[in-house]
Amino acid sequence: MKFTPTAIGDVILIEPDVFGDERGFFIETYHAQRFATAGIPESFVQDNHSGSEEGILRGLHYQIRQPQGKLVRVVAGEVFDVAVDLRRASPTFGKWVGHYLSAQNKLELWIPPGFAHGFYVISEWADVIYKVTDFYARQWERTLLWNDPDLGIAWPILTGKPPVLSPKDAKGKRLVEADTYDWLKLSES
């Protein structure tokens, strides 16, 4: 496995070793010791699977309490996956990184607690699977506005197809009014 820090060093792009032949392939998507050695010692408590059609934009989601670290991968199709740093004391507060994740490239993205997360479906259909470090808690769930001009996320929106949003995502808050994390307290939890 290859672990590469992104422009926000705490967000890590993971390239698993792929062993393939005429029958197909095998990849190891998680290995606790290798992840810990690469600076990702977290334990995972829940696996999630999201299926979406082309043009769907999900996010930007986070939990203000019980923050979730996420290990994201795509097993069918392709998405543009985004993480936004919401840790107030972080030097990258309010910055974002985005990467194309697909069934073909088999890349994974580690997004630590303290970030909002979302993705936009590029292919006709995408299955996104992600492990999380804490349980879902509806009462703590928050949504950051996907197109907040202060964030300036360069979503690769398909020509002539405005993104399809859930009512919750369409009402996301801008960064200036959103609940954010006290970075020091977050790192102590």
Say which of 30, 61, 117, 181 is annotated catalytic.
61
Q: How many CA atoms lie within 13 A of 159 on its CB side?
A: 0
Is 181 marked active-site? Answer: no
Question: What's the CA gap between 133 and 112, in Å, rounded?
Answer: 9
Distance from the Cα of residue 8 to its chain's centroid = 13
Question: What's the CA gap between 120 and 108, in Å, rounded?
Answer: 15
Is 49 marked active-site? Answer: no
Say which of 62, 99, 117, 130 is annotated catalytic.
130
Question: What's the CA gap between 166 and 50, in Å, rounded?
Answer: 14
Active site positions, annotated = 61, 130
